[in-house]
Structure formats: structure tokens, C-alpha cells
Structure 1
Amino acid sequence: MTATTETVWTADEQALLGTLADMVVPRDEPMPSATDVDVHTAGVDAVAALRPDLVEPVRALLDRVRERAPQDLAELMADHPAEFRALAELVAGAYFLEPRVAGLLGYRARRALPLGDLAQQSNELVDLVAPVVARGNRWRTTDGDGVQS
């Protein structure tokens, strides 16, 4: 996992994230657990950089479970459903970004395609939709009478 330039989570939060992440993605040979591939450290930082909306719900979950960690995944899901969804997205995103996991799954990242000349593409789009624009506004009535202009 490539490290990000900013650490979003404290060391205590990372430790708790590791516990919860391994509930979400336990080791199941040949697949590693979440903490086996550092999901709880660099992984969640990388996902948080892309999905900052997940940080606060997950941080709220960490605050709620800090005093008494859930016994299992079912308890975590039942007691904190909204925050669990954010945790699951964060952990799954970090897990599947990990090159080792992608390799074990046989996933090869897609190759970036060049965009080309954007001005030319814009002109082609204008030409493509010109007949529709020239026709003007048209819609079908709800009573089935046909097309109105």
C-alpha cells in the first residue's frame, strides 16, 4: 500500500480500526486479513483521502466502541448500523486497493486511457446533438395525445 502524506487516524484509532477491520475481513486462506495488509494504517488513510465523508461516521463508531468492543461482527452491525456501513466501505476500499489482495483475486488494474483533444471531443458532441437541439423542446403528454412542442 502506498503511504499517503497525511495520517488521518491516531495510533489508538488505528489499533481499534485493526480490531474492527479484522472482524469485517478475517483471514481466510489464501486471503489475508485486513490487518495482514495494513488496512488499519496506510490503507484507511488512502481511502479517507478519497472518501473524507467516511471519516466522521467511523470516528464516531470508534468512540462508541472504545469502552466496550463488540464481541463479533453481528453485534457491531446490530448496535451501530449506520456507522458500520461507513466502516465497511472504508475497510473494503482499503482492502481491495492493496496490490497483494488484487493479485490474489486475479484483478489487474485497468490501464488509463488518454483523453485526447478535449476541444475536438466537445466539437464532436455539439455536432452529434445538433439535430436534437434544432428540433426544439418536445415531450409526450401524460394522457397519450401525442407529442407537443
Structure 2
Amino acid sequence: MIDPDQRRTFAALADVLIPASDPMPSATAAGVPDALLDQALGYRPDLAEPFAEAVAWCTGKDPEAALDGLSDQRPEEFQALTVLTAGAYFLSPQVKAALAYDAPPRTARDDVDSYVDMLADVVDRGFATR
């Protein structure tokens, strides 16, 4: 997918976008520039080209200044970079653990009353073969 130099550039950009704050890990600490980026690109292959262009444009520049320039001059590439960064971040097991969020249980759909009403019509009609 992307070469090691691109990953290093992306890691610096990702840490500017998502720095560490207690209890949340930074993007690189969460593993975003590694397999998680590849996983996110697998979900969004349509973003691979603008993402690569964004990283190439930022290479060799100060990460903060590069992101500012990218957002001003190349908004589509900036969007690809930020969507993939955030998506990969929330795929991280460390991030999920730090969030300590347990989704509420889904309520079961109880349609018994509907079924009973439908069956009552059949019972009222009676059994008749034609």
C-alpha cells in the first residue's frame, strides 16, 4: 500500500491531528500508521489516491504547517487524510478500551401481539379447503 517513508510522514501528521490526552493514546500509540491504516483503506479504497496525494504533498514539511496548507489548498485530500486517520483510530483496541463505552443492549422486538391478531383472523375464518 504505502511505503515506510510515507508511513513516517503520515505518523507525524496523525499525531498532530490526534495527540495523546489522558486516557486516550495518540494516533501512533494507538497503531494508526500501521495495520489500522491498511484496514481503514480496505474499507474505503476510494480514499487511497487522495490520501496518498495528501501525504506526498505534506512530505518534508512541518506537520502542523502542512496540515494547515492542505486544508486550505487541497480540501478533498485533507478530508481523505482526516477521515482515514479518525477511522483507523477508532478501530484501535487501545482506543476502544480507553473509551470505556459499553453500548446499551438492543431491545428485542416483541411482535407476538401482531402474530396473535393475524392468527385470530385465520381461526375466525375456520379451516376450509378449496
Alignment of 1:13-32 (within 5 A): 13-32=6-25
Matched, 1:101 2:95: yes
Q: Identity of paired residues, percent? A: 38
2:27 aligns with 34
After superposition, the Cα gap between the structure-2 partners of 1:109 and 1:48, relative to the gap in structure 1 and judged at 3 Å, is: farther
After superposition, the Cα gap between the structure-2 partners of 1:94 and 1:105, relative to the gap in structure 1 and judged at 3 Å, is: same
2:36 aligns with 43
Name which structure has the greater RCO, CA cutoff 8 Å, separation 6+: 2
Distance 2:9 2:103 in 1: 30
SS of the residue aligned with 2:64?
A: coil
* Alignment gaps of 5+ in structure 2: 106-130
Deviation at 1:109, TM superposition (A): 7.1
State which of 55, 64, 79 in structure 1 corresponds to 2:57.
64
1:82 aligns with 76
* Alignment gaps of 5+ in structure 1: 1-7, 112-149
Question: Normalising by structure 1, what TM-score?
Answer: 0.62
Deviation at 1:70, TM superposition (A): 4.2
Query: Which protein is richer in helix relative to its size?
Result: 2
> Which stretches of structure 1, 4 residues or longer, exceed 6 Å deviation after superposition?
none
